[in-house]
């Protein structure tokens, strides 16, 4: 029996959240653009249609061919998906009198339908739409309403096809996980077997089959993703995995030596390469953030290529790429989503580098990577490490990068991160760091005028980095940290704290 879920993305901001909620039920799922329905539909035991910024009434509304899905595979339409199934199969969707956005209460629930098994009347849901379903197709039956939405949920008789106007994937829909469980487990009959242990067993065997007796080179970053990828590959091919940990001169203070030592104690075959001068020389005078990323990514590849030639007969380059980096999402225009920033570890290799790519974590979200790492016995200290950008401090130094600026930011960052640990705040924060701003400000130190750098501290809470909110750190901590930075780091006379959320801001400043 097929035991996977296909999520068709219509450009909703919540599509990845749908996938995360499905995975949390220990059921495997994949996201595909609505206009690229995969040919292997027989491998999916259920399909979910996402929301969308589109209106189904628009001339250019997305209209995928569902002839191989509807009535043949259990199908759930969410928001736009529900309106699509209603509008294009005989119902009627009209503009709402007012935009229906925010919390609502389910009423008139058809409790005997398995879709609403153990869902209570009055359960809170989250609405976000400007159209409403005015009438349903023939042979469709309403399953629930809200005060403002007469048709909040429905099913098509004779099919395992359902539509809901609200979003079960968001936190504000209190019983959203239960509703998804009802559809996927009780109605679609899927098994909840997608677990870290199962992933490890399956992936190790797949890696053995894929790699055979070949040698693999992996660039370690010190982060969670590359560490778990290394341990997973080591479990599959042992000493045939050759790990390279590169000092790009843009790591945190003392990180190169400390992390290299930790890796060697994990039993990995690791070589440390100090290429800091090579990176910093290439970055001299460059202030555009995308150019910085491309330079750093290019040199990483060059370093790997140099080291690969030192390992006889290496055939593969492993990367710690994870699922959010690979999802081909769609934008409001129906095309690929806009590129906010490039990822240095995603994409092809230059022609001169004759290595194939292996990505053992390519289908995992960040939190799943941590659970897999725990299953593999990776130390919690490694798994709990905050995400750190691949380009390192280069994109936390706004403007051009110099060794002097790197040294300043390393000291500031060290005081901030160590302070979070001492105050017991580190594990309450998803990601933290400091930014060196390209401005000087006037200050007074020792009765003398100063004109020195300003740094911004940033700490956010998130689950996967797709959205984030700033952390309300204690004033006492911020006060002490600011004093320490100004007193201990020459060249800095002002500290500010970033209280921007994502969106509209991003986590990093570049």
Catalytically active residues, by annotation: 79, 167, 169
Q: What is the rounded distance in angstroms from the CA atom of residue 280 to the CA atom of residue 277? A: 5
Pair 459, 469: CB distance under 8 Å: no
- The strand pairing partners of 215, in sequence order, are 314
Residues 339, 460, 483, CA angle at the centre, nearest 5°? 125
Give the pairing of strands 469-470 and 124-135.
unpaired
Q: What are phi and psi of 464, to 5 degrees?
A: -145, 5
Sequence-distant (≥ 6) Cβ neighbours of residue 493 within 8 angstroms: 441, 443, 445, 450, 452, 453, 454, 486
CB atoms within 10 A of CB 211: 20
CB atoms within 10 A of CB 163: 29
Grouping H, G, I as helix, E, B as strand and the rest as coil, residue 101 is strand
Give the pairing of strands 153-156 and 28-33.
unpaired
Q: What are phi and psi of 359, to 5 degrees?
A: -130, 85
By C-alpha distance, which of 295, 296, 226 is closest to 259?
A: 226
CB atoms within 10 A of CB 210: 15
Torsion sign across C-alpha atoms 475, 479, 481, 486: positive
Q: What is the rounded distance in angstroms from the CA atom of residue 93 to the CA atom of residue 149? A: 12
CB atoms within 10 A of CB 155: 23
Q: What is the rounded distance in angstroms from the CA atom of residue 16 to the CA atom of residue 199? A: 20
Q: What is the rounded distance in angstroms from the CA atom of residue 241 to the CA atom of residue 211? A: 10
Query: Tokens for 52?
Result: 């969308």
Sequence-distant (≥ 6) Cβ neighbours of residue 408 within 8 angstroms: 436, 453, 489, 490, 491, 492
E strands, 92-227, are 92-105, 124-135, 140-144, 153-156, 161-164, 215-220
């Amino acid at each position: 029996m097929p035991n996977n879920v296909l999520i068709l993305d219509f450009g909703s901001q919540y599509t990845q959240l749908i996938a995360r909620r499905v995975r949390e039920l220990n059921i495997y799922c994949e996201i595909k653009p609505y206009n690229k329905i995969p040919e292997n539909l027989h491998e999916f035991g259920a399909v979910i249609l996402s929301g969308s910024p589109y209106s189904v009434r628009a001339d250019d509304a997305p209209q995928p061919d569902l002839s191989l899905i509807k009535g043949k595979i259990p199908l759930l339409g969410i928001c736009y998906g529900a309106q699509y199934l209603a509008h294009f199969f005989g119902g009627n969707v009209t503009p709402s009198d007012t935009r229906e956005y925010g919390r609502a209460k389910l009423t008139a629930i058809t409790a005997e339908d398995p879709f609403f098994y153990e869902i209570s009347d009055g359960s809170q849901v989250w609405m976000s739409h400007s159209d409403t379903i005015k009438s349903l197709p023939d042979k469709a039956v309403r399953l629930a309403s809200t005060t403002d939405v007469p048709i909040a949920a429905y099913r098509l008789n004779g099919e395992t096809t359902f539509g809901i106007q609200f979003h079960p994937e968001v936190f504000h829909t209190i019983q959203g996980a239960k509703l998804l469980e009802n559809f996927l487990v009780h109605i679609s009959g899927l098994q909840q077997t997608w677990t870290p242990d199962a992933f490890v067993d399956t992936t190790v065997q797949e890696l053995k089959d894929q790699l055979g007796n070949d040698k693999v080179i992996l660039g370690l970053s010190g982060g969670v993703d590359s560490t778990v990828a290394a341990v997973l590959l080591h479990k599959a091919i042992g000493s045939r995995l050759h790990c390279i940990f590169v000092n790009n001169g843009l790591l945190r203070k003392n990180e190169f030596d400390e992390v290299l030592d930790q890796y060697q104690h994990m039993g990995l075959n690791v070589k440390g390469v100090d290429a800091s001068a090579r990176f910093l020389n290439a970055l001299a005078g460059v202030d555009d953030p995308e150019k910085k990323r491309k330079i750093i990514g290019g040199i990483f590849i060059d370093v790997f290529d140099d080291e690969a030639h030192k390992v006889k007969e290496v055939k593969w380059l492993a990367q710690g790429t994870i699922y959010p980096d690979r999802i081909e999402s769609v934008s409001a225009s129906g095309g690929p989503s806009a590129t906010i920033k490039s990822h240095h570890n995603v994409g092809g290799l230059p022609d001169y580098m004759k290595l194939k790519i292996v990505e053992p974590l390519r289908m995992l979200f960040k939190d799943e990577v941590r659970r897999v790492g725990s299953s593999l016995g990776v130390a919690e200290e490694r798994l709990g490490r905050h995400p750190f950008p691949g380009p390192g401090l280069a994109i936390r130094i706004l403007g051009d990068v110099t060794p002097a600026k790197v040294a300043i930011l390393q000291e500031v960052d060290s005081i901030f991160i160590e302070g979070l640990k001492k105050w017991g705040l580190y594990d309450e924060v998803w990601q933290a760091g400091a930014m060196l701003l390209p401005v000087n400000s006037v200050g007074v130190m020792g009765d003398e005028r100063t004109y020195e750098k300003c740094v911004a501290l940033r700490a956010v809470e998130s689950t996967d980095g797709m959205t984030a909110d700033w952390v309300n750190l204690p004033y006492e901590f911020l006060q002490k940290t600011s004093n320490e930075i100004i007193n201990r780091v020459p060249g800095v006379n002002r500290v500010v704290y970033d209280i921007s959320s994502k969106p509209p801001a991003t986590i990093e400043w570049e």
